[in-house]
Amino acid sequence: MEIVLQGHFAPDDRERDEFPLIPFDVPPGVARLSIAYEFSHPLTADKAGWEEGNIVDIGLFDPRGAEFPNGQGFRGWSGSARREFTLSTGDATPGYIPGPILPGTWHLLLGLYQLAPEGCDWRITVRMEAGETGNPSSQILPCPYDSSPLAPGPRWFRGDLHAHSHHSDATAPLEDMVAAARAQGLDFIAVTEHNTVSHLPELRRLDQAIRAGERAGPPLLLIPGVELSTYHGHVNLWPVEDWMDFRLWQDDRMRRIREIARQRGALFSVNHPKDDGPPWAFGDFFEPDCMEVWGAPWFVSNYQSLAVWDGLLRQGYRITAVGGSDKHQAPFTGELGWYELGTPTTWVWADELSIPAIVAGLRAGHVLISEGPSGPFLELTAEADGRRAVMGDELPVPAGVPVHLRVRVRGAAGCLLRLVSARRALQTEITAGDFAHTWEIVPDGDRYFRPEVIEPPEVPLEEDPSAMMARALGNPVFLKWDEAANR
């Protein structure tokens, strides 16, 4: 059986609803759905905003429901990475969730990323194959993760918080991602597919195999995540056990998802807020737990993301800076290139290598970022009046008492060490492979200090912030001092 759905979107349609639903009915006895779509003047997603044309994404809901924000019938999303997909009880195209083909009204979900001035003609073909339909009560989601530890601590664990497999728009399966992460010497990776959670069952099976010793190699913690890829900015959530709605084009919708994520214990992290990120275009940042200030290699405009984070710190927000490669995994041959998982690497001080412990470390801000798994490595500690704090902590500072800020750096001889606050930037040359420097400061309006390691810039950063080439960044120590007494 085959049905054809077709229509036209005018540019104004996107203003009303960026994610229209297209209904179709499935009779009893269908075992497989195969869906193909096409549209006029197609562009690839990387041309958004650069060329006129249409970019239309696609996903699917079954009869259990497609309402925002629950969407109980979510069955998958492939964006514009695929023009056709299929699903049945036992298998599905990556990005889609296998399971019973329930009779009733299904909905195709279209994402109107960009529409040409003349609009967009679209056509969708749905093919239905009869056969064994499977148990309608069987469920794949939610998919709980294992919270037990893989390795003891406390210590620094290094990993990558942003990566994609063929469950979204990369070309390699999760097995290749695991192999690449182990070749990089990472302790953890967060798999954050675009808008889908079809990877969660497979990720759990891989995790179980690693824990059972069926896959030789050092421990590797697999953190289930999702990247909510909206047309106005991207957000990572970790950890997740179920789908989270990404149909977000208004501030109130994003704020609601932020609250749902908080209720479920997930961290909410704003991704790559920079010109080619894509940038963040919502009217608020919704007090995120984390911000990806270093996404992919540093030279990809990350100075802009750093400036966004700095601006929020100056306003008094406490947001953990993190990094992520945003690596779209290709088939892994065993040879490492210049841009792999762990470019950059996020280091988390955690009590153990487990999902709850890594999340707790991220939430506390006990985090640094380096250009790769081998570093450079830096730590900031602060002491005042017999008290001590590390990155992410708050340090009480009595009136008139100096703060001793000590930074240790390994693997960055010849670079510059900077200590940055909202009011000033202190600097010294790193003269050894294992280097430490202490500043004694009486706070004068400084609410925080954060460390960074950079290459000596060719021009003053005050004149050209893009001249900054970071090699490592640390989170702040926050100072709590008696403002009246310190004036």
Q: Report the amino acid identity of residue 191.
A: V
Contact yes or no for 272/295 (Cβ under 8 A): yes
Digits of tens for pLDDT over the chain (487 positions)? Answer: 999 999 999 999 999 999 999 999 999 999 999 999 999 999 988 888 889 999 999 999 999 999 999 999 999 999 999 999 999 999 999 999 999 999 999 999 999 999 999 999 999 999 999 998 777 666 678 999 999 999 999 999 999 999 999 999 999 999 999 999 999 999 999 999 999 999 999 999 999 999 999 888 899 999 999 999 999 999 999 999 999 999 999 999 999 999 999 999 999 999 999 998 999 999 999 999 999 999 999 999 999 999 999 999 999 999 999 999 999 999 999 999 999 999 999 999 999 999 999 999 999 999 999 999 999 999 999 999 999 999 999 999 998 899 999 999 999 999 999 999 999 999 999 999 999 999 999 988 899 999 999 999 999 999 999 999 999 999 999 999 865 444 4
Q: Enter the DSSP assignment of 378.
A: E
pLDDT digits (tens, 9 = 90+) for 3-39: 999 999 999 999 999 999 999 999 999 999 999 999 9
pLDDT at 295: 98
3-state secondary structure of 175: helix
| pLDDT on residue 482 | 64
**Structure-token pair, residue 172:** 């390699």
Checking phi first, is residue 99 left (phi over 0); if not, alpha (psi -120 to 50) or beta? left
Is 306 in a helix, a strand, or coil? Answer: helix
Name the CA dihedral angle for 364, 370, 371, 373, rounded to a multiple of 10 degrees: -100
**Among the listed residues 169, 6, 162, 189, the one whose alpha carbon sits nearest the alpha carbon of residue 93:** 169
Domains of the chain (ranges, CATH numbers): 2-130 (2.60.120.380), 151-374 (3.20.20.140), 380-486 (2.60.40.10)
pLDDT digits (tens, 9 = 90+) for 181-239: 999 999 999 999 999 999 999 999 999 999 999 888 899 999 999 999 999 999 999 99
- SS3 for 364? helix
CB 41 within 8 A of CB 120: yes
Which residues are registered as beta bridge partners of 427? 418
Only one residue has tokens 């540019």, namely 11
Q: What tokens were used for 469?
A: 């080439």
Phi-psi region of 213 (alpha: psi -120 to 50; beta: other; left: phi over 0): left
How do residues 346-385 score in pLDDT, each as one tens digit? 999 999 999 999 999 999 999 999 999 999 999 999 999 9
Q: In whole angstroms, how large is the CA radius of gyration of the chain? A: 24
Q: Could you tell me which of 265, 273, 259 has the C-alpha nearest to residue 230?
A: 273
Quick one: DSSP state of residue 231? Answer: B
The token duo for 486 is 């310190």
264 residue type, one letter: R
CA dist 221 and 269 (Å) reads 19
Per-residue confidence (pLDDT) for residue 487, from 0 to 100? 45
